[in-house]
Structure 1
Amino acid sequence: MEDHTKPVKIAEDIYWVGHKIENDPFQCHVYLIKNGKESILIDPGSNLTFKDTLYKIEQIIPFSHIKYFICHHQDPDITAALETIKHILNRDDAQIISHWRAIELIKHYNLNIPFICVERNNWELNANGRKLKFIFTPYLHFPGAFCTYDVKSKILFSSDLFGGFTDEWKIFAEDESYYDSIAAFHAHYMPSKEILIHSLKKIEELDIEMIAPQHGSIIKKHLIQPIIKRLKNLDCGIFLLTQTSTEIEKLRKLNKMLSAFLQTMATYKDFSELIKKFSKEINDILLIKSIEFYTYFLNKYYYFNHHTPLMWEEICIDNHILKYLGKSKSEYLKQNPYIILFDNSLMMPIFDSENNVIIAFIQIKFDESFSLDLETKEILQKISNFFTIAFEREFIRRKILIEKEKYYEISIKDPLTNCYTRHYLHEAVKRFIALQDRGEIKALGITFIDIDDFKRINDTYGHDVGDMVLMKVGNILLEEVRTGDIPVRYGGEEFLIMAICDDVSKLYTIAKRIREKIKNIKWPPPLDKEKITASFGIALREKGEEFKKTLKRADIQLYKAKQSGKNKICVDSST
């Protein structure tokens, strides 16, 4: 167990001499470099902590041995102790080291201790042979911010950089999970990802054994690179979002949610991925019960939820949300706030980008009562704006799909008879054969149908009359086949039915009904004196048999039906 009442040696001649403030997630640290009569105190601390810091220092060296006081910035958690120090300091050569921007503020303590400007001292210090380098890290979190690198120990005293909020503080970070503490602090204090990356690249050029930040925990070598890598992807500056909230972790999560959603928008075009990502991120913050979506598409109302984003159910009953769909933005906002709160849920609109009318509504339901602060509302409103793009993409995708299905239907259907085409038969038969060969269906049957004496009808009455006969026969097939059967116009006056069956009797029964219907048609003039019939040939596919062989056997039976007087049904004997 760590003992925070004593100085902690972190490397040879280097000590943590800070003070732990109980129940404070924002611990502030002071470090001592023991260097004879030119010892160095890094970030001296505040009046809350300095009494304990002084006690720890004097267990290692006399306080009078400290010559240099490095102040990485001017904030009181670093510099307020200087007022106490000036009264106990008994050497004239002591110096405060800082950036000129910080010095311009620290001088107002009226300390009568001379300053060294790091930038005017070539960004380094030689303390009786011990060399320190100063690394400029502007705007992290102060314009004149810098870090101190001890060449001998290879320790980087990083000030606010790599600092963290820690609920259960320990001097040394235990594992990579410490990144979460760093992220909470940096997202709140650092101004932007770009500024952070600029300084991280400088730091990566150093040979670092350990990072000793002013806040949080000390980071050992094996954790440094993984943490830097993750920090480069951290979105900072989240206080741009806030007006009222001081809940830093909540603000960080809100910022993370917006960032994750934006990244998903850029990365994924898939609508379901966007919905799932949004649901996951918002649940981390608001603990939702469900998210429901209502939309108006191609003159119909639809509903879906976050579990089934691609399964849109048509709404046929009245719903209080539907009255908002199709309203203009101005009309809606005259009567309602942007986000409507009621019972244990909230609703927010999605406007289209062209006409500013409501194309969808999101309803978020909670398990219990809730309240929304301004920051959460602002983030949700931003996300609802991005949902405009998501829904418009999905509308386009669905329209394209509908058009594809329409043209696919045209491509697989014979335009004259509305039966399937021969091309589709060869596409579909692969699936049927696979099912039969795996034993998932018992038998696959083929029925060939040929209109008797069709050439004579065509030659005598013309192609228009011939087409009428084909249409009528096609309609009879469509009426008589079962769901799942495939009626095909095979070519000219020849039709085919592919069907799943248990035995040939089912096929024979269907063929018999079709034959009777064709025979009993009362044709209009000029066919009113004609008796048109059809012949049938039936065969069952044997397991493992090539489909063309099954077709050949059915075709042979059709030929037999023709030869035996037409208007007959012949069945393959091996069937």
Structure 2
Amino acid sequence: MDYSKPIEIADNVFWVGYVIPNDPFQCHVYVIKNGSESILIDPGSMITFPVVLEKIYKVLDLRDIKYIIMHHQDPDIVGCYSVLESIMPQRERYIVTHQRSQVLLKHYQWKTPFYLVDQNDWKLIAGDRELDFVFTPYAHFPGAFCTFDKKTKTLFSSDIFGAISDKFSLFLEDDEELFEGIELFHKHYMPSRVILDFALNQIEKKNPELIAPQHGSIIRKEFIKTVIERLRKIDCGLYLLNEEETDVFILNKVESVLKKFLEDAILSSSLNTLISNLFSNIKKEINSLEKIIIVTQPGIYEGKEGDVVYIEVTSIGINKEIRKEVPNLKGYSYSLDLKTSRKKIGKLYLISNELNEVNLRFLSILFKRIAFPLAISLEKELTYEMIEKANKELYEKAIRDYLTSLYNRSYFIDYLKKKIEESKQYDIPISLAIIDVDYFKRINDTYGHIVGDCVLKEIASFLREEARSFECAARYGGEEFVLVMPFTKKEDACKRMEALRKRISSSKFCKEKNLHVTVSIGVAEYKESMTINDFINEADKKLYKAKNEGRNRVVC
């Protein structure tokens, strides 16, 4: 099976995910091709986004996507949407999710409005396609739900039926390792058998013929019954009590802290909340606890060799910092490695002036149960921070011209629209200049494109210096540039552009060639009756006049 291409798993239902090499925790993305009311399901993270986007383009146009279903708020499911939203053509579009997810997703400050399944009778009508939403609370978070496509009887099951396995197959096969991967996932991810049984009961009512989970393998009809039967037999929860410990008081302490840790893990996506509450709850049992320290492995954070994240939790609060090397910690009373199924993430230390045997037995049982989810939370937190940074960097790339690093044409149009609206609302003057490099084709033909690019870069530098912090300098196309000047009347804009023209004309370009370069500039001021095209055309007419009158001049 060729995973490099979209794969049609049901009628007009496509898998458009990316198989991450050597990753036991694959994340899937699906689209339902449905004309102008097409549906994107769990768009994924920035790790998978470039490949996913390429596959979506092979199936449909981004403009056709009207609904984006987000089964929950984790970054591996929604982390790419800030960038995806910025490149999607404007139209009526909705994020489909549960209210419990919406209260967290709103913090991304996306522009796309929400369609809440729990406030719309758990249904969505998309053209001739009807989707039912199946409420599966606490599997794995309070607002968990699945999506059932009635036309193809495909269930998009979110985390349920997911898998953790070193072996990957897009479709489930009669392979014990794949079945064990599904069981392992639910043992680690689902809070209890009661919660999982309730979810499975709700799903069975729909009688699906295909199950498409976020993780693991797609399950065809012939395997659905077998998988459900096996899942009903497992012991869920990361927090099963230690069978070897017989001291009821120790077990009671462990159960108390585990219960609170479980609540925090379900209800909060914040590592800070998780470890802060963990410290407080352990301190209730061990009053001598002074601090918890977590130190990540060198190079985990942003891949910088040697750098570690140092987190210190005390009664006062949390201190987090980046250090250049692993600190030489002394005087700790208890320590353990924090590992996911893939790698060691870091190490945890407890500082206490006195720990007796009972305290150590309590800690041993407790951390045996929570070390893995704590490591997962730490890894997710670091991944989320890196995704946020990558999103910002990718957004900058998306709005910048690759050659000159000025804003690109798309950003210029959006910026100009916004400033025109402000001009109308607040009666603020706004001027626009279009700058054209004179005889640029002759420069390219005579000296070659490398020198031509050099000229464009140096012209861009002049514009960057000229533009104020609230103005927009952009490459309009080819050898044309624009400068949008809010709060500037045409007379003042013309003076500035004449001074700019003189600076350019008196400068030498591209050191080795020592070129003399001139520009022609057209300037217009916005008038209330103008459309955005009228405004641009007015400046363009002035530019055309400047060129016709001999170039190397400003026409206002």
TM-score higher than 0.5 here?
no
Task: Answer 1 or 2: higher relative contact order, Cα 8 Å, separation at least 6.
Answer: 2
Q: Give TM-score scaled by structure 1 length.
A: 0.43
